[in-house]
Structures are given as structure tokens and as C-alpha cells.
Amino acid sequence: MGEEAFEDLAEHLQRREYEGREYRHVPDYRRGVERGTVLLEGVVVRGFPKVPRTLVLSEGVPNHFEDAEVAVEEKLNGYNVRVACVDGDVLAFTRGGLICPYTTWLLDRRLDVDFEPIFEAYPEAMLCGEVIGPENPYTSHDYPAVDSIAFRAFDWRDRESGDPLSVRQRRERYESFGVPQTRLFGVYDVDETAAAVREAVAELDAEGREGVVMKSADARTQLKYTTSAANRGDLAFAFSLPFDYGQAFMFRRLIREAFQSVEWDESDERARERAHDLGEAILLSMRDSLRTVDEGGTVGERHTVRGDDEAIDALVEHLRGQGLSLEVETDRREDGDRVLTFRKRAQSTNDKIRNYLDGHVVRE
Amino acid sequence: MGEEAFEDLAEHLQRREYEGREYRHVPDYRRGVERGTVLLEGVVVRGFPKVPRTLVLSEGVPNHFEDAEVAVEEKLNGYNVRVACVDGDVLAFTRGGLICPYTTWLLDRRLDVDFEPIFEAYPEAMLCGEVIGPENPYTSHDYPAVDSIAFRAFDWRDRESGDPLSVRQRRERYESFGVPQTRLFGVYDVDETAAAVREAVAELDAEGREGVVMKSADARTQLKYTTSAANRGDLAFAFSLPFDYGQAFMFRRLIREAFQSVEWDESDERARERAHDLGEAILLSMRDSLRTVDEGGTVGERHTVRGDDEAIDALVEHLRGQGLSLEVETDRREDGDRVLTFRKRAQSTNDKIRNYLDGHVVRE
């Protein structure tokens, strides 16, 4: 895919600017080109493809893979980043195709990964990974080994064609450059994969981790499956901001729980426990948010980030530039770093909860 | 509102036929005219107005009513019917504006209500009530006093203007004609209404009943509030057919639970119990449906109706005419009646559950 094909998409493109350089990106899913695809100074950086999901491992895995073998890797709960080098600059692109100045700064200064030699050897590479950890401006989640924030590679593609390296080649290459990667549970015969995934998922679930991504050896076919802990975490989060999260988002996670319960042939007692956990994720998180607003507080995603002054300022400006309303809670210094805690104000949720608590009626 | 104003709505009208007579109705909510409004042989039968809901009694009730006094009546869980006499025939109109042949037959032969003298005295009357009971083609729910099906009046309006009688006048008039009505909990000072409703709702909740409708003395202002039992019942029902019920339907009921828990200032323990009940309503009903499909069965609303041959045939034809796919489970005779048990096949739910169980992936 070249600049010309990209021009055909012109009407679907959004213009943005990064440090005085204009770029364009594809903000929504479209036929023929991935969401998040970027055009910057004549260079195309392809979006990361959507990964389909199965609700039932035993049937979905053999159905989806025509291959003899399937690699099972951990799916991490953070944000998806593509790293590419354009005109000598190593840049971090988020899923939707924005250049995130904070992530770009992180890559260069904090993530214990030296990207320069990789791009010297492979200038057209698009390095795909998850940025995880508690000090995270987008998706904060605790991982035992991560105090602040970290990068874990899970894919390596050609930035223009989007073609991936095979799983084996990719893992070896990242290894050779000392780049940390997502965990590989193993490579299995396709007929053994569902059972292997179920075991991996049980282990991940017990640790509150997200799930797995299965990949064909050539990495061209992908499939994901998540833990109940991840479903519940997502639900608790979404229902804490019920009027800002899509109902489809909530619904899908409820459905997943039912399919998992049936596939795993749970006893009535075990299913009832799952139901109770699910109910708590939904109701107790809504209740907390209603109480917060009732007591005059504000609800919204809370994040802490750590960096130098300039990086933090750029992040705040970047988020506000996307229309987010940020409330700074604390802004302090620690070990020479600036540590900022802020809340992304969830406008609809704050307004609607307030209105309903004030007795505005619902006409539905 | 006359025939002329109705004609202005022409593009929004749907044509239907009832025993060879053509009529038109308003199938959706529109500005200026209620959903379910009907035009039949030059006569307008107004739709029943949407009743707004409050999520918080203490604030919503005084906010909504400008009146000194509020009547609190029980809201029943059945289907809303308007009864009007057109050209000598007493007809039953469902909420959406269809003439239901079975309900029309019921009114005449089974409901222990003699409508003829009412229409002789008040030919322009529109008698509004709920048809309740376990043998019910639309909304089946058990009520202790109802073995099969029954009518409970809750409103009396002018069919053309939609103007209601006052609560007092309406109750007296139905009483004088011997028509059974919904329960009146009482008429309260507006400032005492929220507390009275809360008490009534606690009692109704314990009995698994639906809720209340509050009305100004002139019956022009209405407000509803439902029990947790009703929310849970709706959720269990909707999640038993998850791909046929709107996600907004489910979401609204989850929200209601959270507001009720907060308004009632529940302890953590009590809120956790509520959450568990909620989780069971969601997950266990989905699980049942998934298992039914997994074992080769069909899911869908199951109903039993009782009547003469002609009335049952007319109902089946009426439902199929609306595009419903019916599966007859049993068709037998009892005490001279025909008793039919059928299932309204929930197409999307059957198909999607089957597909996902077969391992079709989700691209979302």
C-alpha cells in the first residue's frame, strides 16, 4: 500500500500535527485499511489489525486455524503501541493512529529498550507491543514485575505492507536486540491448543491477568481469548462510568462469561459464584460512582504518570487536544521526576448521575 | 385531534386489517401523537401516553408533581390494552396500535367484565387496563388471584382527545360498572408520597410484583417506579434471549438497581446481596439458554393461551402476521376449551448462540 492508495481514503482521514509536522490517520475501521493507519511525510504506517475472538475454545480454535501448529502468547492489559522510525525519529503510534508524545518520550528515555540499532538494521520495521503498568496514561493495570511502566513486544511487521514476521523469527529477533516480549506459553498442535489455552487461562485468571492471543506460525492468523478476571475488570470499570461506556462494550463481556461457564461445564454452585462475582463487578462499581457524585465528587478514569516536565506537559496537551477534560489531582516531584495524577472527567456520567439524583425523570 | 391531523401523519402510518376492515396505526413514538394511535373507519383511538420514570423517589416525586396530592396505584406486569367501541364493536387495541383478535374475544367472553353498558353510556370512552395472568400471549406473570387471565382497569380517557378522567371519578365510575381495577395504595400529600411509595414498593417487591404508578388527581401527570424483583425478572427474561433483546433494555434495568441501592442507603452487605441476585438473573438465564441450544433445543418466549378454536386460530394467525415464528408445543382440550402452548422462536438468539457454540469468531 503506497501513498496513492492512501489518497483514495482521503475523505476518511483526519489531520493531526506532531511537533509542527502534519500527519493524517484513519480514525475508524474501514474496508481495506486498518484503523489507525498513518501517513506522515510520505511514509505509511499501517494500523494494527483487529484480532478476532472466540467465545468457545474447543470449537473456535480448530475452526479458525488451518495451520498445523498454533503459538499461544499472553495478551497483556495495557495499550497497543506501534513504534516506527520516520525521517530519523522514533515515534510511538497509539491504536487509533495518533502519535503520542509521552509514549514517544518514554520509548526513548525510560523503557530500557534501545530502538535505534533495530531501526538501523531494519528501517522499515513496525515494532508492535503493549505498554503496561500502573503509571500509565491510558490503561493502568498492575503487573508484579512493573513498578511504573514497561514495553512488551508482541509483533513485528513491515510498516507499509503490514506483513508480520513469523512467530519464531520475531521472538528470536527481539531476543537478539534485548527487547522484552510477551510470554510464550508454547507452540501446540492445533488439536491440542484449546486444552493448552484453557490451562493457561486458568493460571492467568487466578493472577488477575487478561488472557491469550493465539497465532499461526506465520503470525498472519490471530485469535484471542480472555479470562473471567479480565471480563469482570472491564465490567467494573465500564459500570463505574456507565454513561460514558458503550452498552455494546458491557453486553459483549456479559455474553463471554456465559459461554465460558457453559464450555467449562461449571456446576450450578460454581456458576452461581461466577454470577455473584459478575453482579458485584456491575452493581458495586456503579454504586461507588453514584455515591461519589452524590457527595459532590467527580468520576472519571484516574491515572498517574511519571516523567520530565516537558513530557508531562506534552501529554496533558495531547489529551486535552483530543477533547478530554482533565482534572489534576496531584502534581509533585519524586526522585527528580514529575509525578502527575489526573482524572479524565467522564462528562456524561457525571452529568447524568447528577441529573437523576436530582430527580430528573427518564422518558424511555 | 381529528382525522385531518391524523392524515398529516400519513407517512408514519402503517396499514393493517382486522376482519376485513382496514385500519392504520402509528407504530413508533412521534412528536405530537402517541405511539399506538389508531384510525379506524374515521374514528381516532389515541395511543396510551408514555409514562416517565424516576430513578430516585425522594427527589423525583416532588420534582415531577406540581400538585398538592398524588394517588399511588399498583403497576401490573401484563400487557396494556385500550378498549374502545367502533361502529358497534368492542375492540381491544394493544400498546402499539394493533387490534388483537384474541384479546377482543377475551373481553367479550372471558374477562367477567360487561363492557356493553359502559359504551352505551359513554360511547367515546377509551378504557385502559392491564391484561394479566399466567395464560397470556404477550406477558405472562403469575398473580395469586388470577388462574388464567384477567383485566384490571387503570385509566379512562376520551378516545379522540386522550383526556383522562380524574383518578377519583375514574375509580368511582369503574366501581359503578363492576370493573376490577388496579390497587389504590392511597392518595398522599406530595411531600409524603416518596415515603409512601417506598413502603408500597417494599411490600410489592417481597411479593415479586412490579411496582407503582403515581398520578396527579386529574390523572394528567404520571410517574412510575418499579421493584427490584421486576428489574431482575426483566433482566432474567432479556438475558435468556440475549440477542433478541435490546442492550438498552438491559442497561436501563441495571442502572435502576444502582440508584435504588444508593437511595435506600443499603449497607455493603445488603448491596452485595443485591449484586448477587442481579448477577444470577443475568448469568444463570443466559447459561440456561446456551445449554438449551447446545442440546439441540429452541429458545424463545413460551406462552399458554386458553379459548375457543376460532379465538386461538385468530391469535396464531395474528402473531404470525407480525412476522413471529411460532412453534406449537402442545395443543389440547380442557373443560371444553382449547389450550395451546407455543413458543415465539427468538431467531437471532438461536442463530447466534448456535454459531458461537460452533466456534464462529467474533470480530468486534
Buried b (16+ CB within 10 A) or exposed e, B8-22: ebeeebeebebeeee
Give yes or no: residues B245 and B222 share one domain.
Answer: no
Would you state the cell numbers that stand for residue A134, as one nine-digit string?
500502573
Q: How far is CA B175 from the centre of its chain?
A: 23
Residue to mutate among A57, A225, A228, A247, with most B CBs inside 10 A, is A247
Which of A61, A247, A272 lies at the smallest CB-CB distance from B247?
A247
Answer yes or no: is pLDDT of A32 > 80. no
Q: Indicate whether B190 and B235 sit together in one domain.
A: no
In this complex, the residue of B59, B277, B282 whose CB is nearest that of residue A358 is B59
Assigned domain for B202 exists: yes
From chain B, the residues in CB contact with A259 under 8 A are: 290, 356-357
Q: Convert B58-82 into a string of H (helix), E (strand) and C (coil).
A: HHHHHHHCCCCEEEEEEECCCEEEE
How many structural domains comprise chain A? Answer: 3
Considering all CA atoms of chain A, what is the largest pairwise distance in Å, rounded to the nearest integer?
A: 64
Instruction: Say how many residues make up chain A.
Output: 364
pLDDT at residue B112 is higher than 90: no
Q: What would the pLDDT profile of B27-42 be if each residue is shown by its tens digit?
A: 887 777 899 999 998 8
B94 and B144 share one domain: yes
**pLDDT at B78 (0 to 100):** 98
The answer, yes or no, to whether residue B122 has pLDDT greater than 80, is yes
Please tell me the predicted confidence (pLDDT) of residue B2: 62
Backbone angles phi, psi at B304, to 5 degrees: -125, 135
When scoring B251, B269, B348 by the number of chain A Cβ atoms within 10 A, the one with the most, hence best to mutate, is B251
> How confident is the model over A241-257, as a mean pLDDT?
95
Residue B318 identity (one-letter amino acid): H
Question: Does residue A355 sit within a domain?
Answer: no
Interface test with B, best of A55, A59, A250 (most B CBs within 10 A): A55
- CB interface of A with B, residues 245-274, below 8 Å: 247-248, 250-252, 254-255, 257-259, 261-262, 271-272, 274
Nearest to B262 among A257, A271, A290 (CB): A290
- B247 and A242 in contact by Cβ < 8 A? no
* B78 and B197 together in one domain: yes
Q: Could you tell me if A188 and A236 lie in one domain?
A: no
Average pLDDT estimate for B290-299: 97
Cβ–Cβ under 8 Å, residues B64 and B54: yes
Confidence (pLDDT) at B137: 97
Under 8 Å between Cβ of B16 and B98: yes
Q: Does the pLDDT value for residue A225 go beyond 90?
A: yes
Q: Which chain A positions have a beta carbon within 8 Å of B63's beta carbon?
A: 358-361
CA dist B66 and B189 (Å) reads: 11
pLDDT tens-place string over residues B37-94: 999 988 999 999 999 999 999 999 999 998 889 999 999 999 999 999 999 999 999 9
pLDDT (tens digit, 9 = 90+) per residue, A58-113? Answer: 999 999 998 889 999 999 999 999 999 999 999 999 999 999 999 999 998 888 78
Domain-terminating residue out of B174, B193, B226? B226
A282/B254 Cβ within 8 A: yes
* Confidence at B360, pLDDT banded by 50, 70, 90: very high
Cβ atoms of residues B29 and B47 within 8 Å: no
- Chain A residue with minimum CA distance to B223: A361
The answer to whether position A361 is within a domain reads: no
Supply the pLDDT for residue B3: 64
Mean per-residue pLDDT of chain A: 95
* Cβ of residue A277 closer than 8 Å to a chain B Cβ: yes
For residue A323, which of A302, A301, A347, A298 has the smallest C-alpha distance? Answer: A347
Residue A357 maps to a domain: no
Mean pLDDT, range B261-281, rounded to an integer: 98
CA-closest candidate to residue B80, choices B23, B170, B165, B153: B153
Handedness of CA A117, A121, A124, A128 (dihedral sign): negative
- Examine residue A350 and state whether it is found in any structural domain, yes or no: no
Give B56's contacts in chain A (Cβ within 8 Å).
356-359
CATH of the domain at B19: 3.30.470.30
Question: What CATH code is carried by the domain that includes residue A283?
Answer: 1.20.58.2250
Examine the pLDDT at B106 and tell me if it is beyond 70: yes
A210 and A328 part of one domain: no
Q: Say yes or no to pLDDT of B173 above 70.
A: yes
Mean pLDDT value across chain B: 95
**Model confidence pLDDT, tens digit, residues A42-73:** 899 999 999 999 999 999 999 999 888 999 99
| Within a domain: B21 | yes
Å between B110 CA and nearest CA of chain A? 33
Q: What is the pLDDT of residues A131-163, one digit of tens each?
A: 999 999 999 999 998 999 999 999 999 999 999
Please report the pLDDT score of residue B33 as a whole number. 84
Minimal CA–CA distance to A17: which of A94, A85, A101? A101
Q: What are the backbone dihedrals phi and psi of residue A161, each rounded to the nearest 5 degrees, phi first?
A: -85, -25
Q: Is residue A364 in some structural domain?
A: no
Provide the residue range defining the domain that includes B26.
3-226
**Cross-chain CB nearest to B247 (options A54, A248, A358):** A248
Same domain, A278 and A304: no
Query: pLDDT per residue over A290-344, tens digit each?
Result: 999 999 999 999 999 999 999 999 999 999 999 999 999 999 999 999 999 999 9
Q: What is the mean pLDDT of residues B309-322?
A: 96
The H-or-E segment that residue B104 falls in is helix B101-109
Report the share of chain B in percent with pLDDT over 70: 98
Residues B76 and B172 in one domain: yes
How confident is the model at residue A2, as a pLDDT? 62
One domain, residues A63 and A148: yes
pLDDT tens figures, B193-223? 999 999 999 999 999 999 999 999 999 999 9
Q: Give contacts of B 211-250 with A, CB under 8 A.
A: 223, 239, 242, 247-248, 250
Query: CB pairs below 8 Å between A and B: how many?
Result: 176
A139 and A265 inside one domain: no
Write down the pTM of the prediction: 0.94
- Which ranges of chain A does DSSP label H, i.e. alpha helix? 3-8, 57-64, 101-109, 116-121, 167-176, 190-206, 228-240, 247-263, 268-294, 309-321, 347-357
By the CB < 8 Å criterion, does B58 face chain A? yes
Query: Minimal Cα distance from B264: which residue of A?
Result: A287
Domain-ending residue, one of B226, B252, B285: B226
Report CA dihedral (B171, B175, B180, B181) to the nearest 10 degrees: 10
Task: Among A28, A235, A362, A364, pick the best mutation site for testing chain B contact (most B Cβ within 10 A).
Answer: A362
State the DSSP H helix or E strand holding residue B333, giving kind and residue range, or none if neither: strand B326-334
Identify the band that residue B1 occupies on the pLDDT scale cut at 50, 70 and 90.
low
CA distance B61 to chain A (A): 7
Q: Is residue A92 part of a domain?
A: yes
Same domain, A209 and A277: no
Asked if A101 and A239 sit in the same domain, the reply is no
Rounded CA-CA distance A225/A230 in Å is 10
For B26-175, strand residue ranges (E) read 38-40, 43-45, 69-75, 79-86, 89-94, 125-132, 150-158
- In 3D space, the residue among A211, A215, A231 whose CA is nearest the CA of residue A223 turns out to be A215
What distance in Å separates residue B200's CA from the closest CA in chain A? 19
Q: Is the pLDDT of residue A1 over 70?
A: no
Q: Which residues contact A127 (CB under 8 A, 6 or more apart)?
A: A82, A83, A84, A115, A118, A153, A156, A179
Give the per-residue pLDDT at A3: 64
